[in-house]
């Protein structure tokens, strides 16, 4: 599995990963982590858990990877990994590892796969989850602001009823949609990353929070 150490990509083997996991109470995964700020803050606040941020673009995670590699007094953490991987091809090493999974404001193929119930995306999510794991997704796009993107990517128009209509497709992958909540911009302030704050203080949006049980 390819991980970041500072700005360098290195490979760790199964034995090394297993030895790390056993030190912690739970494993929490953030797919499409972007710059990694969200998962870094969680790791800093919850040292009893192992946190894993995953993004296909290593450069996105450089700043927080460098920060977590420092001495503890300067922000270093030993309960955080940054994994370089695509959401449709997650490492086999993560199989049945996650107690909880977060996906915050995905874009591109990850977003498309979630709203269209795409096999590659949903099967990969299910595979890395333990039985009875929790999945929380925050997702937003709108014809008011992303109409061209919606047309180009053939995206469905989001609504509470849309997620009601496709919940059975999620269940085919063991993802049971327990609750769908319509949120406003204020909800993004609690996530507390640069990107969510930019949206939170920007144009008024509908944000959908999807909470799944994985079985």
> What single string gives the DSSP state of each residue in 90-141?
--GGGTT-EEEEEEES--HHHHHHHHTT-HHHHHHHHHHEEEEEEEEEEE--
pLDDT cut 90: percent of the chain above it: 87
The string of pLDDT tens digits covering residues 114-149 is: 999 999 999 999 999 999 999 999 999 999 999 999
The CATH architecture assigned to 2-214 reads: 3-Layer(aba) Sandwich (3.40)
pLDDT of residue 73: 85
Model-level pTM?
0.95
- Residue 130 CA to residue 98 CA, distance in Å, equals 6
- Residue 188 CA to residue 200 CA, distance in Å, equals 5
Instruction: Indicate whether 188 pLDDT > 90.
Output: no
Domain extent listing, the chain: 2-214
The residue among 72 and 90 whose pLDDT is bigger is 90
**Mean pLDDT across the stretch 159-185?**
95
- Residue 78 CA to residue 71 CA, distance in Å, equals 10
pLDDT of residue 190: 82
Which contiguous run of DSSP H or E holds residue 16? helix 14-21
Instruction: Indicate whether 191 pLDDT > 90.
Output: no
Which contiguous run of DSSP H or E holds residue 213? strand 207-214
Tokens of 18: 């297993």
Asked if 70 and 104 count as a contact pair (C-beta separation under 8 A), the reply is no
Summary mean pLDDT of the chain? 94
């Amino acid at each position: 599995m390819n991980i970041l150490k500072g700005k360098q990509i290195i490979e760790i083997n199964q034995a090394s990963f297993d030895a790390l996991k056993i030190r912690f109470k739970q494993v929490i995964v953030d797919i499409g982590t972007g710059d990694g700020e969200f998962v870094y803050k969680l790791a800093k606040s919850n040292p009893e858990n192992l946190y894993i941020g995953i993004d296909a673009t290593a450069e996105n995670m450089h700043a927080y990877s460098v920060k977590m590699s420092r001495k503890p007094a300067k922000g270093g953490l030993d309960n955080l990994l940054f994994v370089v991987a695509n959401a449709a091809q997650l490492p086999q090493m993560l199989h049945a590892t996650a107690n909880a999974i977060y996906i915050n404001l995905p874009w591109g193929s990850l977003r498309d796969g979630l709203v269209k119930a795409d096999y590659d995306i949903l099967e990969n999510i299910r595979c890395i989850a333990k039985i009875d794991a929790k999945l929380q997704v925050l997702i937003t796009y709108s014809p008011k602001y992303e109409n061209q993107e919606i047309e180009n990517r053939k995206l469905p128009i989001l609504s509470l009823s849309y997620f009601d209509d496709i919940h059975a497709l999620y269940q085919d992958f063991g993802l049971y949609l327990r609750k769908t909540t319509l949120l406003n911009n204020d909800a993004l302030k609690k996530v507390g990353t640069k990107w969510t704050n930019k949206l939170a203080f920007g144009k008024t949006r509908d944000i959908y929070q999807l909470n799944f049980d994985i079985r």
